[in-house]
Amino acid sequence: MYSLKCHRYIYGWRILAPGAVDLRIASPIPAGYSALMKTIIEPFRIKMVEPIKLTTRTEREKLIRAAHYNPFLLRAEDVIIDLLTDSGTSAMSAEAWGALMRGDESYAGARSWYHFRDTVKDIFGFEQVIPTHQGRAAEHILFGVMVKPGMIVPNNTHFDTTRANIEFVGGNPVDLPCAEANDLDSYSPFKGNMDIAALEALVAKEGPDRIPVIMVTITNNSGGGQPVSMANIREISRVARAAGIPFYIDACRFAENAHFIKRREPGFENTPVIDIAREIFSYADGCTMSAKKDAFGNIGGFLCTNDAALAHQERNILILTEGFPTYGGLAGRDLEAIAIGLREILDEHYLDYRLLSTRYVVEHLREAGIPVMAPAGGHAVYLDARRFLPHIEPLQYPGQSLAVELYLEAGIRAVEIGTVMFGLDPHTGEEHPARLDLLRLAIPRRVYTQSHMDYVLEAIGNVWARRDEIRGMKIIKAPQFLRHFTAHFDRA
Ligand code: F0G
């Protein structure tokens, strides 16, 4: 069996065998991280646990076959380590669980609403706060009001739901990632940046009448969880303001992005991360947010703006689709939990741990020669399935094969981001290889420990060792839209 050179790493140090400590740093803590010691620990204790059902490989063979080789169709309890998404899967704190009991469930003007609104205003700084049941509801309302058929919305990279909500109202989402985003091996610090020259060219060509809003997604989820620099955000804002176009931020992972700025962008070393977040949002006219990411919520979201007239229109839709403007599709207890989560996520020890623990996985994979996107982003690890399985053609879905193998190997669930997800043109029915074939392993917040991540590393190492035997997949049946969720596969 392939071994990742040693069996146990403690963030930055390696133990070779019980008792024998090799003090060479395997994955040094980068300068600037506020490590109190060289070992970075999970900065929380575990008060309540959920058992994991352990399955055998023989059981998993049956289970994945019954799920038609699509991990989305597995029962969650048949998964050992669930890295399908970091969304809504976070562990809430004792403080947030306690606050659930204090949730004020009044229909209008609940105390929990004011707690939520004031917290959002304090961090994000916008005048108008509109609660929604999750991020895509905020997008749906925003684009429903702002985007008319034929209009263009630029973004560094639109997340799927953002793209779909723009298309739903007849708009045209355009991705303008920076050049480095295309190089999976580049260690450029802000690969989430937008291409400013391309944005300027688009604005000059189409003008503000055709571009109702410019967006940027922090961190850039579809581009690998890579951060956007403050300099880039300032530039986008400058272009938007010069053209009189509103600038919105998709803020799902704003705290991780702010902490990357603190650790990587000169001039922010000593700025509290909350002030970095405030500065980011000061350049924008509004934001959409999924509280299921950087607010530790199991549900929730919001839409913000400084434009009172726009907010009035948005609240009218909110009442129709989500609920009264002081709860917007959420229970009072959810509003409480989110208000607490938004404060907790800005704890810099937590953020150091978060970014370093993702980096820990990525750096050990790279050290073993396993193709993975660099540098580590905040919330996920992206294996390059096309390079991992070069003998499998893109139209035989190397990312899906890898997802299946990782489940068979160790009960790990991850998601293909490649030709299954993006390869089919739903209008022509034609299929083409996607730009990349990746496998995303998204890491829920405060849920898994380092030994879980060591298990993941060992599993990937074992699959890598037998990669030549892995076969491609074929689709047996699939719907026309968003086929990755429900498609049935078989081995090619
Ligand atoms: N924007 C980004 C950048 C996202 O990553 C997501 C969700 C959304 C918007 C929509 O938020 O789920 O609350 O409606 N991303 C999840 C993921 C689903 O797995 O990456 P939502």
For the segment 112-134, the average pLDDT, to the nearest whole number, is 98
Give the mutation target among 290, 292, 296, 413 for probing the ligand 1 site: most ligand atoms within 8 A of CB.
290
- From 83, 87, 139, mutation site for ligand 1 pocket: most ligand atoms within 8 A of C-beta: 87
The region of weakest confidence among 20-24, 128-132, 346-350 is: 20-24
What pLDDT sits at residue 223?
Answer: 83
The number of beta carbons lying within 10 Å of the beta carbon of residue 465 is 13
pLDDT at residue 222, as a whole number = 86
Ramachandran angles phi, psi of 182, nearest 5°: -80, -15
Sheet holding 301-305, edge to edge: 128-132, 301-305, 286-290, 247-250, 214-217
- The predicted structure's pLDDT at residue 34: 64
As to burial, measured by CB atoms within 10 angstroms (0-12 exposed, 13-18 middle, 19+ buried), residue 417 is buried
- 16: pLDDT strictly greater than 50: no
Question: What does the alpha-carbon distance between residue 152 and residue 188 come to, in Å, rounded to a whole number?
Answer: 29
Instruction: Kindly report the pTM of this predicted structure.
Output: 0.93
Q: Find the Cα–Cα–Cα–Cα dihedral 402, 408, 411, 413, rounded to 10°.
A: 30
Which pLDDT value is given to residue 75?
A: 98
Span 194-219, pLDDT tens digits = 999 999 999 999 999 999 999 999 99
pLDDT at 11 over 80: no
Is the separation of the CB atoms in 74 and 63 below 8 Å? yes
- Mean of the per-residue pLDDT values for the chain? 92
Domain ranges of the chain: 57-79+349-491, 94-344
286-341 tens-digit pLDDT: 999 999 999 999 999 999 999 999 999 999 999 999 999 999 999 999 999 999 99
What pLDDT score was predicted for residue 14?
42
Average pLDDT (363-383) is 95
CA–CA distance, 268 with 22 (Å, rounded to integer): 34
- The per-residue pLDDT for 20 is 39
Q: What CATH number labels 57-79+349-491?
A: 3.90.1150.10
Token representation of residue 111: 């105390």
* Ligand 1, atom nearest to 380 Cα: 20
226 lines ligand 1 (CB under 6 A): no
Asked if 88 and 379 count as a contact pair (C-beta separation under 8 A), the reply is no
- Residue range 186-193: average pLDDT? 95
> Per-residue confidence at 354, pLDDT binned at 50, 70, 90?
very high
* Ligand 1 atom showing the smallest separation from residue 86 Cα: 19
User: What pLDDT digit, counting tens, does each position of 437-491 carry?
Assistant: 999 999 999 999 999 999 999 999 999 999 999 999 999 999 988 899 999 999 9
Question: Token pair for residue 210?
Answer: 């055709």
Give pLDDT, residue 13. Answer: 38
Say yes or no to pLDDT of 24 above 70.
Answer: no
Give the model's pLDDT for residue 365. 95
Ligand 1 neighbour 301 (Cβ under 6 A) = yes
Q: Which two tokens stand for residue 156?
A: 């560094």
Long-range contacts of the stretch 477-482 (C-beta < 8 A, 24+): 478/424, 480/424, 480/426, 480/429, 481/426, 482/160, 482/164
> How far does the centroid of ligand 1 lie from the alpha carbon of residue 267, in Å?
30
Whole-number Å distance, alpha carbon 159 to ligand 1 midpoint, is: 7
pLDDT band at 273; cut points 50, 70, 90: very high
Which CATH entry fits the domain spanning 94-344: 3.40.640.10, 3.30.590.10, 3.20.20.70, 3.50.50.60?
A: 3.40.640.10
The pLDDT value given to residue 409: 98
pLDDT one-digit tens code per residue, 394-440: 999 999 999 999 999 999 999 999 999 989 987 788 999 998 999 99
Among protein residues, the one whose CA lies closest to atom 5 of ligand 1: 221
